[in-house]
Structure 1
Amino acid sequence: MSRVRTVLGDIPPGELGVCDAHDHLFLSSPQFPGQELDDAVAARAELEAFRAAGGAAVVQWTPYGMGRRAADLAELSRTTGVTVVCATGLHQAAHYAPELLDAVRGRLAELFVSELTDGIGRTGVRAGLIKVAGGFHTLDAHARWTMTAAAEASHATSAPIAVHLEMGTGALDVLDLLCGELGVPGDRVILGHLNRSPDPVTHREAAGSGCWLAFDGPSRAHHATDWRMPNALRELAQAGFGDRLLLGCDTVLAAARSVDGGPGMPYLLRRARPRLVAELGEELVERILTGHPGRAFAADWR
């Protein structure tokens, strides 16, 4: 039976409720000095704000070695009543010290499987997805290494693979590798950040693989996101792919949290949802927020 693996245990897909399908409560990287998400009090306030806006679940895509704080996620889920799903996986090489990458070389798939099945360290928390990343319009050797390990771990466990697409690019190369060369079923792959490269031809071709298409994050200065996202989703729905869509906020930096003056997690429900309802209709938007995440992140765990 398919279940969603949360930080407090496995649940039926229908119990997720309104879900932010891509976000971060904790994250640290040398690429974001001074903007780390490392404050448990602020994380709790953000979850409480999301719950007050009508949210019920958050999928944290922070992977191995980037300060995901699995034990804190479990406590936050218990105290706020918001369901949380945690990731294993590996981001782009730039987010890590070389010695950390050297330490996992040769055992990456084994690490992913262990965190999905046995748990993360001694926390007792099991990851519920594998996060990997491509590059800008390309897949470098690091991306191919991590995606190969992710495919091996997914075959072993049935876990979904969530992919950071750099600036929304490289979707078809990712699918060629994961679903073509490595044999991962399309419905086990979630492509993130497609809103950052609103190319309808690529979107439709990617959707044809059976993968999930995540539109995640409010506009940034250099991204054509909010104002084009309703059109992109409508075109996909009209092309018959309305059942492959996910929405998230992707709060990466401390300043982006609503409790610190940014849009934060509540933005998804406070601003994005009404605009999408006006374009797509209430029924489809509610399915995207409540039905699709359960299907995308559920697995027949092995």
Structure 2
Amino acid sequence: MIRTVLGDIAPEQLGVCDAHDHLFFRTAMLPGQELDDADAALAEVRAFAAAGGQAIVQWTPHGLGRRADLLPGISTSTGVSIVAATGLHRAEHYPPGFVESIRDRLAEIFVTELTVGIGNSSVRAGLIKVAGGFHLLDAHAELVMRAAAEAHHATGAPIAVHHEHGSGADAVLDLLVDELAVPPSSVILGHLNRFPDHYVHGELADRGAWLAFDGPSRANHATDPWLLESLSWMVDDGYADQLLLGGDTTTARARAATGEGPGIPYLLTHLRPRITRHLGQEVADAIFTTNPARALDAEWRDGGTVPA
């Protein structure tokens, strides 16, 4: 099943999916560009739905303004399924002392948000968002990933990974898969378009993980010219069934409905037609529909507890 903010659904119910985005997101790293306007979020999702979108995965993790209480209403109003996240981002996204105050109970927090609810709501997360470092894993990244692996084993939830400038994904798999026994089919490697190395991407795909490319995002627009080429390389090498695509809208300015765009709808109004033209309808269907449903599908264990 796939865990959405309105409850669990069968994978075939997910439909056309933006596999990595943000409706709400607050971080000191992007001052003045907070995504915290409920009306703007609703307008963006409505525009996505009008373009044929049926599901959005919000990768905003614990402590960064997810507004979980608002997500069910947006989903109901638009007919778009929303998957929320637990987990933790890189330390610099949080105020001083925040991470230290919860470091000993990260796995417990993740499991609770996956199986009971986020904050005081009954909205449950459907994946665990974590973050690596630049080309390697620092102490914070390793701490969070170990907690995420515990939560995965307790619940079955998939793990989605932010990679700093798209790097260090090999180190992530070394830890999560090789050492901590998380199945590679439960690991989504994000931001790979920010490190457009065909050979690296092939090596990651060989290890069985999901490869997530995101864009365009104003914060990382320099990678956009390589997006289609990166996808084409993977398709040519036989990895079309491991590819995911998301918009990763991280700033108010990047919204289509209330900012300068291109926003979430761009995935379907511009990128999907290009992918269809150049890579074929079958590949487009895999990237936007079949693959997200498989990547988010989990055998949920709601009675799971974190190992002592």
User: Under a length normalisation based on structure 2, what TM-score does the superposition of the two structures give?
Assistant: 0.95
Q: CA deviation at 1:227?
A: 2.2
For the residues of structure 2 that align with 1:228 and 1:95, how far apart are their CA atoms?
Answer: 27
| Residue 60 (structure 1) aligned with residue 42 (structure 2) | no
What count of residue pairs does the alignment treat as equivalent? 300
For the residues of structure 2 that align with 1:44 and 1:223, how far apart are their CA atoms?
Answer: 24
For the residues of structure 2 that align with 1:15 and 1:153, how far apart are their CA atoms?
Answer: 25
Give the structure 2 partner of residue 4 of structure 1: 2
Q: CA deviation at 1:219?
A: 5.8
Where do 5+ consecutive residues of structure 1 fail to align?
none
SS at match of 1:285: helix
| Residue 286 (structure 1) aligned with residue 269 (structure 2) | no
| Residue 23 (structure 1) aligned with residue 40 (structure 2) | no
| Residue 100 (structure 1) aligned with residue 98 (structure 2) | yes
Q: CA deviation at 1:221?
A: 7.5
Structure 2 residue corresponding to 1:233, chosen from 225, 231, 234: 231
For the residues of structure 1 that align with 2:217 and 2:143, how far apart are their CA atoms?
Answer: 31
Q: CA deviation at 1:225?
A: 2.8
For the residues of structure 2 that align with 1:23 and 1:103, how far apart are their CA atoms?
Answer: 27
Cα pair distance change 1:21/1:221, threshold 3 Å: closer
User: Under a length normalisation based on structure 1, what TM-score does the superposition of the two structures give?
Assistant: 0.97
Give the partner amino acid of 1:133. A
| Matching of residues 134-149 of structure 1 within 5 Å | 134-149=132-147
For the residues of structure 2 that align with 1:111 and 1:222, how far apart are their CA atoms?
Answer: 30
2:217/2:247 contact within 8 Å kept: no
Cα pair distance change 1:204/1:40, threshold 3 Å: same
Q: CA deviation at 1:267?
A: 0.7
Structure 2 residue corresponding to 1:81, chosen from 79, 82, 103: 79
For the residues of structure 2 that align with 1:251 and 1:227, how far apart are their CA atoms?
Answer: 17
SS at match of 1:20: strand
Structure 1 moving runs of 4+ over 4 Å: 219-224
Give the partner amino acid of 2:215. G
| Matching of residues 166-245 of structure 1 within 5 Å | 166-218=164-216, 220=218, 223-245=221-243
Cα pair distance change 1:221/1:126, threshold 3 Å: closer
Q: Deviations over 1:96-148 (max 9, x none)?
A: 01322122111100110110011112211000000000111121000000000
1:256/1:262 contact within 8 Å kept: yes
Give the structure 2 partner of residue 121 of structure 1: 119
SS at match of 2:128: strand
| Residue 297 (structure 1) aligned with residue 296 (structure 2) | yes
Cα pair distance change 1:221/1:59, threshold 3 Å: closer
For the residues of structure 2 that align with 1:27 and 1:174, how far apart are their CA atoms?
Answer: 24
Q: Deviations over 1:17-54 (max 9, x none)?
A: 10000000000011111110000000000000000111
Give the partner amino acid of 2:264. M
SS at match of 2:129: strand
1:169/1:197 contact within 8 Å kept: yes
Give the structure 2 partner of residue 252 of structure 1: 250
For the residues of structure 1 that align with 2:65 and 2:219, how far apart are their CA atoms?
Answer: 26
For the residues of structure 1 that align with 2:67 and 2:217, how far apart are their CA atoms?
Answer: 27
For the residues of structure 2 that align with 1:31 and 1:221, how far apart are their CA atoms?
Answer: 11
Identity, % of aligned positions: 61
Q: Deviations over 1:194-219 (max 9, x none)?
A: 11111011100001111100011116
1:219/1:225 contact within 8 Å kept: no
For the residues of structure 2 that align with 1:31 and 1:51, how far apart are their CA atoms?
Answer: 30
SS at match of 1:69: coil
Give the partner amino acid of 1:103. S
Bigger mean CA offset, 228-237 vs 153-162: 228-237
SS at match of 1:14: helix
Q: CA RMSD in A?
A: 1.2
SS at match of 1:214: strand
SS at match of 2:223: coil
Bigger mean CA offset, 34-43 vs 226-235: 226-235
1:198/1:224 contact within 8 Å kept: no
2:158/2:296 contact within 8 Å kept: yes
Q: Deviations over 1:226-259 (max 9, x none)?
A: 3222222122122121100001000000000001
Where do 5+ consecutive residues of structure 2 fail to align?
302-308
2:217/2:250 contact within 8 Å kept: no
